[in-house]
Amino acid sequence: MASPVRLRVVFFGTPAFAVPALEALAAQHEVCAVFTRPDAVSGRGKTLVPSPVRVAAEQLSIPVHAPRSLVAEEEGEAGVAGESPVATLVNAAPDIAVVAAYGLILPVSVLELPRLGCVNIHASLLPRWRGAAPLQRALLAGDEELGVCVMRMEKGLDTGPYCATAATPAGEKGLQQLTHELAVLGAQALVGALPAIADGTAAWVAQDERMATYAEKVQKSELVLQQSDTVDVNLRRVRASSPQAPARCVVEGRPVTVLEAGTCSLATTGPCRPRRLAFRCADGELEICMLKPDGKKAMSAEAFLAGLR
């Protein structure tokens, strides 16, 4: 059902997680400006690659701005139209600002600019996992349920009240699948909550500070598989793996990235093959099903074992 009100929205986001929210907003409201991180250097050729949000915004014909910072000390930095980022926001005259994994700090002057304030789609069931890496931390901790919250932004780190949530069971899903699922759920929760936010009837729930946990950025060393840990702990590392912090181990003297693993033992169907590639753990074996040896393409465990021969 279409929203009964049409709001002027400024959107802040960078990765693929934020794209469903941007698209959902553009379908029902007027997205007058999009802010995203500057193009990132990628690959051996050091090519500049635009963020997924920039690509989506340009396809939707929405003006895009990519300042290096929005903090007060750097407000003099020129934007696309030669004006400072904050001046761009003032001129956009938004009713509300929406943030989804933007990656830069929004100063209080920006938070207070829209008449309805700023809301954030945060990828956790607050107050659990405030901070930078909520999905990865939830997977590493073995959380059985993951979710998103639509929260009001304030000066503290993910401390504001929330007015909408959505959740999905973790099951055996990996980071990529869960990121996509929660991106869609977050977009739906956001557009569903906006009418109530606009007319002042949204039910805001204060966070219980006693239940708060923090999701610090995951270091590469945390995703190295350890023989002294259990199968379950190592499997969590594989499910929480990302290109920035991949699950790693050494097989037959060769460093590899573990892309898919399980406990499927002698299964003859599904991701694992009859010829097994196992990583010994404290309480059993973790079956490696897909991997990427350094300097080579991703391959199945069966193909890797054939190469060893």
pLDDT tens, 82-132? 567 788 888 899 999 999 999 998 988 899 999 999 999 999 999 999 999
Residues 131-154 have a mean pLDDT of 97
Give the tens place of pLDDT for each residue, 23-82.
999 999 999 999 999 998 876 667 889 999 999 999 999 999 999 888 754 444 444 445
pLDDT of residue 81: 47
Give the CATH fold of the 220-308 domain. Methionyl-tRNA Fmet Formyltransferase; Chain A, domain 2 (3.10.25)
Mean pLDDT (the chain) is: 90
What pLDDT is attached to residue 269?
A: 47
Q: For the chain, give every residue range classified as CATH 3.10.25.10.
A: 220-308
Per the structure block, which two tokens stand in for 25? 């907003």
Rounded to whole angstroms, how far apart are CA atoms 38 and 51?
8
**Strand 284-293 relative to strand 254-262: parallel, antiparallel, unpaired?**
antiparallel
Report, as an integer, the average pLDDT of 228-247: 96
Question: Rg of the chain over CA atoms, in angstroms?
Answer: 22
Give the model's pLDDT for residue 42: 76
State the residue for tokens 């990628």. 42
pLDDT value of residue 267:
41
List of residues 6+ apart from 230 with CB closer than 8 A: 281, 282, 283, 284
Decide: 276 and 266 in contact? Cβ < 8 Å.
yes
Where b means 16+ CB within 10 Å and e means fewer, 172-202 reads: ebbbeebbebbbbbbbbbbbbbbbebbeeeb
List every span in the chain annotated with CATH 3.40.50.170: 8-215
Burial of 10-39, coded b for 16+ CB within 10 Å and e otherwise, reads bbbbbbbbbbbbbebbbebbebbbbbbbee
pLDDT at 4: 66
Q: What is the DSSP string of 88-108?
A: HHHHH--SEEEEES--SPPPH
| DSSP β-bridge partners for residue 164 | 150
Cα–Cα distance list, 236 to 213, 221, 252, 289, 304 (Å): 19, 14, 23, 15, 23
Closest C-alpha to 216, from 124, 120, 130, 99: 130
The whole-number average pLDDT for the span 139-146 is 97
Question: Nearest-CA neighbor of 122 among 222, 12, 10, 220?
Answer: 12
pLDDT at 252: 85
Q: What pLDDT score was predicted for residue 41?
A: 80
Six-digit token string for 148: 């998103």
Please check the confidence at residue 166 and state whether its pLDDT lies above 70.
yes
Predicted confidence (pLDDT) at residue 234 exceeds the cutoff of 50: yes
**Cα–Cα nearest to 164, from 129, 122, 136, 128:** 122
In CATH, the architecture of 8-215 is 3-Layer(aba) Sandwich (3.40)
Q: How far apart are CA 9 and CA 95, in angstroms?
A: 6
Mean pLDDT check: name the lowest of 7-11, 110-114, 181-185. Answer: 110-114
pLDDT digits (tens, 9 = 90+) for 250-295: 988 899 999 999 975 544 445 544 578 999 999 999 999 999 999 9
**Sign of the dihedral defined by the CA atoms of residues 115, 121, 125, 126, in that order:** negative
pLDDT score at 266: 41
Q: Residue 3 has what pLDDT?
A: 45
